[in-house]
Structure 1
Amino acid sequence: MSSDPQAFIPYGRQTISEADISAVKSVLRSPFLTSGPAVPAFEQAVAAKVGAHHGVAVNSATSALHIACLALGLGPGDRLWTSPITFVASANCGRYCGAEVDFVDIDPATGLMSVQVLEQKLQQAQQEGTLPKVVVPVHLTGSSCDMAAIGSLAERYGFEVLEDASHAIGGLYQGAPVGNCRHSAITVFSFHPVKIITTGEGGLATTNDPVLSQRMRELRSHGIVRDAERFEQPAAGSWVYEQQQLGFNYRITDIQAALGLSQLQRLDEIVAERNRQLQQYMELLAELPVQLLEVPKDVLSSVHLAVIRLQHATGKQHRQVFEGLRAAGVGVQLHYSAVHLQPYYRKLGFAEGQFPEAEAYASSAISLPLFPGLSGLDQQRVAAELAKQIRAFAPEFAV
């Protein structure tokens, strides 16, 4: 990446190697462009990397969340709970299934779902007869939630756990890879271009349950069954298939899977570089009134994002810093606005004050540029521009 002081620095970007290009070219020269051998090879490679028994690849993480919810039996009359600080898909997947959606407030230090708040909310829901069927913890910025604690609550209160690990492939929790489903039914990864590794667009669900795996495979392809032993009607010939449920066209292509397979070879290297950049930001920003989100103990984050929270800043000052950085060529972003305050969810009855930690987060958080290839000089420029914007309302910080 150029260290030109005038160049725009995006908050994230993909990195494509010659090996990646060669892998895609090999598919383009092959007989298969859509559902060929690269897709199952990618599924098996990801599952093996994270220590899960099955992988089901689809065209986006949103699609993976949707079919995961359906495979878990979520439907009208059921409830899904997730974090209010996430991309809207973590909540929307419940609405796609006709379920009610609610939220669990965050730990302000990590941005992750608060286990304490979850437990309190579950106790109240049990008394009211409104327990969730599915809880979706979100591994914000690449740091795993406390999955052992959430899994223990799932056993006690009888809900399914669906990990939204869209940010977190390559991360570890208690020394084991995120995605092994030790404490969950299904884990979902994203391979959008700004994520840890990319397939251009794409997602993948891991599970240790063969029934869930089969359900998701059928749901991603129109609900079609090709195994004659499972047909509900007599087969008229070897070419016959049956649609046994309403499914979707969520398939991923061999082109995308080949790119993902190639990128997967560099996963550990990419995660290590992202962690080095996060450490550099910690050093550069140490004297500023900002706090990087904490990585919990027993977690190796994949560091999809470097999120700071401005300290002692008003909402107006937060916006001024954000817009000032962008005007200076530093492409900061907000991950995320609180989902419950989006217009769609307001129409469902959500309002300010329901999840105060999430709302405070959204009015103070800024995602700084972080991606493979970002230079140390560019990180210094980001820190200097941030200090400049902060000095506009806090002149005592003359870093």
Structure 2
Amino acid sequence: MIPYGRQDVSDKDIAAVLEVLQSDFLTQGPAVPRFEAAAKAQCNVDYAIAVNSATSALHIACMALDLGPGDILWTVPNTFVASANVGIYCGADVDFVDTDPDTYCMSVAALEEKLTQAERDGKLPKVLVPVHFAGQSCDMRAIAALAGKFDIRIIEDASHAIGANYLGQPVGDCAYSDICVFSFHPVKIITTGEGGLATTKDPKLASRMELHRSHGVTRDPALMDQASEGGWYYQMVDLGYNYRMTEMQAALGVTQFERLSEFVDRRNALALEYDRKLADLPVTCPVQNPDSRSAFHLYPILVDNRAEVFARLRENGIGVNVHYIPVHTQPFWRARGFAQGDFPQSEAYYARAISIPLYFGLTEEAQDQVVSEIGRAVSF
């Protein structure tokens, strides 16, 4: 079976993890700061906070922005459920903005229309979470301009997009957001096994996220309400969580970061080959915004008779997947008042979408096999 995605782990990666296992620190040692330094260099920001998943990063980002009961978070239906769930974790209400029919990212036109109505209704969001789907950045300049009119805070969900560029700058530089979040799951561009990270330019937001990832506990005298009682002393000054990244994960991430450009270049080359090889088949290939360079976490195509095509591809050794079932159609969210038909562009995309294999180690022969089987499946 050719998988839709997989990690690429080198001997150097393995050696880095082994070195940690033989060291004095398996957690809270020097590897996590090195990983954060690599992220800061990549994204050209002053602060990077590593955690155990992108969901955790999204959660502490919302907490840092004081999202809570009575507030509203908006994201898109075309994402993994975590992008919306973090609003519920904070006690906020959640709503969605439909996606662009070409890029499958947040639609600027839909956002503008929804903000106009929300202003009339007195239901403007406090936090907006645009999702950089499949590795391609949303139109963040336009989104930030709209959000800025209403003092809405922005968290970029860039779980798919480490190594991507927007307007010539790295995704994660927070030029148009307060915080940006990445994922390092094994099928992403680089991996730490499980893991996530948040970047920001704001020292206060960084400090709050650092606090919330580790129980709300601090040894920093500046954050305590009384003098330290000794070298053992700490205080819990806020409610936090155990969201720390391990040293093994971080060590793997450091060596993976060294190959980030290589990974992204290879994925872009494979995507261009798919564009060429699928051009004569009755499928729709992903559209790329000329203002951005995708990291190509995914290569989603649109087909007719999706269920049948999906089944035929799986039966013939092509490990395709679907990203994503629109969040608002899940039972949990239907119970909160959402319904089929609420976000037609996201639903129309989902009805035809298949993510085909795309990963660093995909060979030319395997890619040709994928294309050949797609041709058979859609012509059946």
The TM-score, its normalising length taken from structure 1, stands at 0.94
Cα drift, residue 157 of structure 1: 1.4
Taking only aligned residues, the RMSD between alpha carbons, in angstroms, comes to 0.8
1:324 alignment partner in structure 2: 312
Trace 1:249-260 onto structure 2 (pairs within 5 A).
249-260=242-253
1:156 aligned to 2:149?
yes
Q: Which of 311, 317, 321 does residue 333 from structure 1 map onto?
A: 321
Q: 1:62 aligns with which of 55, 67, 70?
A: 55
SS in 2 for 1:27: helix
1:294 aligns with 2:287: yes
2:345 is aligned to: 357
1:108-156 per-position Cα deviation (integer Å, ceiling 9, x unaligned): 1111100010011001101110000000000000000011111111211
CA distance in 2, matches of 1:380, 1:229: 60
Identify the residue that residue 395 of structure 1 maps to in structure 2: none
- Note if 1:388 corresponds to 2:371: no
Distance 2:149 2:270 in 1: 40
Cross-structure match for 1:397? none
Letter in 2 for 1:192: H
Letter in 2 for 1:71: A
Taking every aligned residue pair, what percent have the same amino acid on both sides?
55
One-letter code aligned to 1:304:
H
Q: 1:342 aligns with which of 330, 334, 340?
A: 330
CA shift digits 1:154-174 (9 cap, x unpaired): 211110000000000000000
Contact 2:223–2:237 (8 Å) recurs in 1? no
| Residue in structure 2 matched with residue 183 of structure 1 by the alignment | 176
Counterpart of 1:211 in structure 2 is: 204
Q: Which runs of 5+ in 2 are unaligned?
A: none
- How far apart are 1:378 and its partner, in Å? 1.0
SS at match of 1:367: strand
Counterpart residue type for residue 354 of structure 1:
D
Q: CA deviation at 1:234?
A: 3.9
Aligned to 1:242: 235
Partner SS for 2:2: coil
Match of 2:127 among 114, 134, 156: 134
Partner of 2:364: 376
Distance 2:300 2:185 in 1: 19
Cα deviations across residues 321-345 of structure 1 (Å, max 9, x unaligned)?
0111111110000010100000110
The one-letter code sitting in structure 2 at the alignment partner of 1:214 is S
The whole-number CA distance in structure 1 between the counterparts of 2:170 and 2:201 is: 14
Distance apart, 1:39 and its partner CA: 0.5
Matched to 2:75, the amino acid is T
Q: How far apart are the structure 2 equivalents of 1:86 and 1:211?
A: 28
Report the alpha carbon displacement of residue 298 of structure 1 after superposing the two structures with TM: 1.2
Equivalent residue for 2:86, pick from 93, 99, 117? 93
The letter of the residue matching 1:385 is: E
The equivalent residue for 2:106 is 113
Alignment-mate amino acid for residue 356 of structure 1 = P
Counterpart-to-counterpart distance in 2, 1:367 and 1:241: 48
Amino acid at match of 1:372: F
Would you say the 8 A contact 2:78–2:104 is kept in 1? Answer: yes
1:331 aligned partner, one-letter code: G
SS of 2:284 mapped into structure 1:
strand
For the pair 1:274 / 2:267, whether they are aligned, the reply is yes
**Range with greater deviation from structure 2 (231-240 or 29-38):** 231-240
The structure 2 residue matched to 1:33, chosen from 26, 30, 33, is 26
| Partner-residue secondary structure (3-state), 1:292 | coil
Match of 1:169 in 2: 162
Indicate the SS of the match to 1:307: strand
- Give CA deviations for 1:307-364 in whole Å, capped at 9, x if unaligned: 0012xx2xxx210001111111100000101000001100001001110000111100
CA positional deviation for 1:238: 2.5
Question: 2:166 corresponds to which letter in structure 1?
Answer: Y
1:157 is paired with a residue whose SS is coil
